[in-house]
A = this chain, B = another copy of it.
Amino acid sequence: MTAKTTAPPIDTARDDIDGDGVTPVMDTVVFTDALDLDNGKTLQPFTIAYNTYGTLNADRSNAILICHALTGDQHVANRNPMTGKPGWWSLLVGPGKPVDTNRFFVICANILGGCQGSTGPASINPETGEAYGLTFPVITIGDMVDAQARLVDHLGIDQLFAVIGGSMGGMQVLEWAARHKERVFAAVPIAAAAWHSSQNIAFHEVGRQAVMADPNWMRGDYLKHGVVPRNGLAVARMAAHITYLSEDALHEKFGRNLQNRTDRTFSFDADFQVESYLRHQGSTFVDRFDANSYLYITRAMDYFDMAAEHGDVLAEAFRGTQSRFCVVSFTSDWLYPTRESREIVQALNAVAANVSFVEIESNAGHDAFLLNEPKFFATMTGFINSCAQKRGLPAA
């Protein structure tokens, strides 16, 4: 193993930055051995930034890997040091939560291609001394997972007790279960799909075109010029954000309510609350996310097609699996609708895998997996406890 730890090792850097009892270890590891990418190229070296929570048990059997979504990061359960906001899945992950950091050793890594410490297009290319920009290789969900596997090696863990993720995180879960079968005891793909639909590709393409249309994008070289394609990235985020909510959620949240005014202004101001909300989503996103990362990650999602990787037969991706699966969808999710989860379940059934499927009633849309959905939490608690028993881990 050729990993170089650039931050304090596990269990020494605990700092309760959240102030509510969640104590992450934040670490960064540089892998000097090349990573073989799906596009035929290699990446060398590469860095993975990750957080851990809780304690790895003696036989290293209680590790849970959380995979984040498009714009997520490694701060799954602790307050985000940059934004000051709670961890993006702190409702699900933490002491006494369904993914209980008092029982499990929880790992969450910024994905390869990301912009929160792991190597991505904004990182410095050691060969040139400048940011990669568009010279960064186009990566896949599988590449992200292979990079995570190197991290799991580095942590000395042979088999993860569970791999859990929603949206693009769920795609990573599926790749883990396909590429590293023997290393996954339980797999929980949530609000995900085994391939990216035509409509989803279309929305991503709109976002990419919005970024690329911004003159400050400068063919990806904006960092060299000291500028940022703020406007284009904000538009991309606005378009994407609509797809994360259901029409019902938008209607209940905003309806046609006006923003701090009693009547239409007959102008192009943000008269409606929904306009003001979207503009806010766009402008705050730009402060925390790299535009090229957005291009690369959306591209990886569009390229994601696990059936195509296995002779157009999705079931072949999972043949021989011994993992326990819990597939979760939400009724009002139109980005990754329930039927796409059912396709995963059917493929798993075709190879006689051990699979549960739960469709959660919710009107929150795709974002439901991030929100307070008691039935979802109950599902997670039940599945995790059942698997823990089978794995011989102590009960809650």
Which A residues have a C-beta under 8 Å from some C-beta of B?
Answer: 38-39, 134, 137-138, 195-199, 201-203, 205-206, 208-210, 212-215, 231-232, 234-235, 238-239, 242, 247, 250-251, 253-256, 264, 266-268, 270, 272, 274-275, 278-279, 282, 295, 299, 302-303, 305, 308, 334, 337
Interface of A is mostly: helix
Cβ–Cβ contact B199 & A272, under 8 A:
no
> Which residues of the partner chain B approach A337 to less than 8 Å between Cβ atoms?
247
> Which residues of the partner chain B approach A282 to less than 8 Å between Cβ atoms?
209
The residue that A213 contacts in the complex, of B138, B214, B266, B268, with Cβ under 8 A, is B214
13 contacts between A and B (CB under 8 A): A38-B266, A134-B268, A138-B268, A197-B256, A198-B255, A198-B274, A202-B250, A202-B278, A205-B238, A205-B272, A205-B279, A206-B238, A208-B268
Cβ–Cβ contact A199 & B137, under 8 A:
no
Cβ–Cβ contact A231 & B250, under 8 A:
no
Cβ–Cβ contact B198 & A250, under 8 A:
yes
Q: With A and B bound together, what is the CA distance between A55 and B318 in angstroms?
A: 68
The residue that A198 contacts in the complex, of B38, B251, B303, with Cβ under 8 A, is B251
Q: With A and B bound together, what is the CA distance between A138 and B263 in angstroms?
A: 14
| Shortest Cβ distance from A41 into B: residue | B266
Cβ–Cβ contact B196 & A279, under 8 A:
no
The residue that A250 contacts in the complex, of B199, B209, B213, B308, with Cβ under 8 A, is B199
Cβ–Cβ contact A198 & B256, under 8 A:
yes
> Which residues of the partner chain B approach A214 to less than 8 Å between Cβ atoms?
213
Q: With A and B bound together, what is the CA distance between A294 and B238 in angstroms?
A: 18
> Which residues of the partner chain B approach A231 to less than 8 Å between Cβ atoms?
209, 213
Q: With A and B bound together, what is the CA distance between A93 and B201 in angstroms?
A: 35
> Which residues of the partner chain B approach A197 to less than 8 Å between Cβ atoms?
247, 250-251, 256
> Which residue, of A206, A270, A299, A302, has the highest number of chain B Cβ atoms within 10 A?
A206
Cβ–Cβ contact B202 & A39, under 8 A:
no
Cβ–Cβ contact B195 & A210, under 8 A:
no
A145 to chain B, nearest CB (A): 17
Q: With A and B bound together, what is the CA distance between A353 and B137 in angstroms?
A: 63
The residue that A39 contacts in the complex, of B266, B295, B303, with Cβ under 8 A, is B266
A232 to chain B, nearest CB (A): 6
User: Known: A209-B235, A210-B210, A239-B206. Contact between A196 and B256, CB under 8 A?
Assistant: yes
> Which residues of the partner chain B approach A235 to less than 8 Å between Cβ atoms?
206, 209-210, 213, 235
> Which residues of the partner chain B approach A203 to less than 8 Å between Cβ atoms?
242
> Which residues of the partner chain B approach A234 to less than 8 Å between Cβ atoms?
209, 213
| Shortest Cβ distance from A233 into B: residue | B213
The 5 closest A-B pairs by CB, nearest first: A213-B231, A39-B266, A138-B266, A198-B250, A205-B275
> Which residues of the partner chain B approach A278 to less than 8 Å between Cβ atoms?
202, 205-206, 209
